[in-house]
Structures are given as structure tokens and as C-alpha cells.
Structure 1
Amino acid sequence: MGRIEGQLSIPRKPVFAVIELGATQYKVSPGDLVVTEKLRYVDVNQQIKISRVLMLGSRYESVIGRPLVPGAYVTAAIEEQFQDAKVLIFKKRRRKNSRRLTGHRQDLTSVRIIDIAGIEAEPTLKLSDTTTVQQEAKAA
């Protein structure tokens, strides 16, 4: 029920993922903070692995799952578990002198995205690929 202590080392990679937390989908990158409905059975400062990855993308390629991308996961840290501001619900029936006021506070969890696995930020060129490209350029 507190905030995360210390600094996390989060490498900035130009990749993104679409993940599913609860019943909501989020587009995330390393370093992002996501506030979602309360995740049960997790504690503050705990790292979790989210395997419900629907899509991965980088500057050079995109991978769309059917419905999930196999072998892909997102590593995240639980930063804080807290309650949202109070939402007031006011119900009134006209001309009946009947009013009711209730309130509700939603439990929330803030999650910091650390890493995305399953996609490379930069494509790796093999030696045979570069020689093929050079030979085609000379032929043209």
C-alpha cells in the first residue's frame, strides 16, 4: 500500500506492445506507467510477467497475435496500490421527496513497464543478406 522504493533501470527501446490487463487493452513501451483496475495477489515492489501480449511493434516490423503472440511477454513492476477519488452517486425522484446519495472508491494498481521481450528494436542483417544486396546493386 505504498510507493516503490529505489530506482529501476529501464532501458529505452523503440518498441511497443499491446497487452491485456483485466478486461482492458493498453499500448505500452518500456518506461510507461499504466494505472489499471486492482491486480489481485501482487504486492508493491514485485515484478510480474504479463504474457497476454496481443501485438508487438517496432520501427521495422509488427507482429500481430491470433489472439496472442507466442513467446512474447512484458516485464512490469507494481509501483502502487491505491484507491481512486470518490465518485458520488445521487438519485432523486421528482415530487416524491425521495433522495439517495452514495459514494464509491475504485481500487487501482499502478504498473511500471520495464521490458518487452519477443521483438528486436533493430533488425539484424546477416553477412549473406548484405552481399546479396550489393550484388543486386552492381547488376542494376
Structure 2
Amino acid sequence: MINNQSKHGNIFFRSIAKLIDLLIIAALWKIFHEGGFFIGIFYLLISDGLFKGCSIGKKFLRLKVINTDRQSKADFRDSIVRNLPLALSVFFLLIPIIGWIICVALFAFEFTLIVGDPDAKRLGDYMAKTSVIEE
């Protein structure tokens, strides 16, 4: 279990790391247009398996994802399962206005889960049996 002060710091840094990853997705979408949207989704799905448990955002902020069952760094399978709820949320961006509202609502739901959970886990962490820790 993470102490309260460490939990809130972890949530802050996780949020910044995810923001960095979302900016990468937006850049891919802008650069490669429609194809970039799907490249961005692909990046989101595999991102936590890229650098031995770290996405680019997590790498900058010295965070990593571990599989709590194996007690090892997350691999591509863990990353895909863990990020599936967020990837599905991003697909709603293809629907004008209402899709954007749904996407934001789903991201807010995931964030609320992190804040309310004693171990600062979101739905994807429970699905993949993962946890985010400081390196």
C-alpha cells in the first residue's frame, strides 16, 4: 500500500506522464492525419511496454508499470490490456461533439478511480494486474 503523500505525488506525476503521451498521440494524428489517429491508438496500447515498463511520458518522469503477479516490468501484453479502456475512450473522438464529451467523461472516470483507490489504481491496472511505481 502506498502512503497518502506518496500516493498523491504518484497521481500527479502519472497525470503529467499521461498528458505527455496524449500530446504524442495528438502530434501523430496531426502529422499523419487519419492514419495518425490509428498510429496514436497503437502507441497508446503498446506504450507501457516500449521501455521495459515505461511509456515515453513515464520514462521522463521516472515511473514504470509493473505486473504485480509476476513482480516484473510490464510487457506489451500488459500494456495493451492496461490501456484498452483509454484506447476505447479515444475512439469516441471520431464522433463530433458528443464523442468528445464521452471521451472526456471516460478519462475523468479513470482519474476518479485512481484518486479514490487506496493503491492509486485505475480500471486498466485491475484488468492487467499492474501497478505504477516510481523508478
> Do the two structures share a fold, i.e. TM-score over 0.5?
no
Q: Larger % of strand: which?
A: 1
Larger relative helix fraction: 2
| TM-score for the superposition, normalised by structure 2 | 0.26
So what's the TM-score if we normalise by structure 1?
A: 0.25
